[in-house]
Amino acid sequence: MQHLNLLFFVGQNKKGNWVVTDGKGLRGGLFISRDAAFRFAMRENGRRLERIVWVTGTLELDGSAVAEENGAGAPIAENTSASTVPVLSTS
């Protein structure tokens, strides 16, 4: 399974919802609690804690993330310290 090697980013969006997304924008979702988001990320990455990145800034899901396989879409992390996690954009 290829997704076992992906990083999963966990954080909150502007509305306070918990967001999980992988580094390619192929897997993820919105969650009502931090615990639910964490459990999803752990299950999707084969329970590899070292493959989860906690985003301290705002993390938004890109609506076109499903199209990542065709070269479009990516997670967006805003207002995030570069020393904590990489800043991702759709450009």
Q: What confidence category does residue 4 fall into, taking pLDDT thresholds of 50, 70 and 90?
A: low
Which pLDDT value is given to residue 49?
Answer: 94
Which pLDDT value is given to residue 90?
Answer: 37
Query: What confidence tens digit (pLDDT) does each residue in 32-90 have?
Result: 999 999 999 999 999 999 999 999 989 998 743 333 333 444 455 554 433 334 444 33
Write phi, then psi, for 34 (nearest 5 degrees). Answer: -60, -40
Whole-prediction pTM value? Answer: 0.66
Q: What confidence category does residue 15 fall into, taking pLDDT thresholds of 50, 70 and 90?
A: very high
Buried b (16+ CB within 10 A) or exposed e, 34-71: eeebbebbbebbeeeeebbbebeebbbbbeebeebeee
For residues 65, 67, 69 and 70, what is the CA-based torsion angle, rounded to 10 degrees?
-140
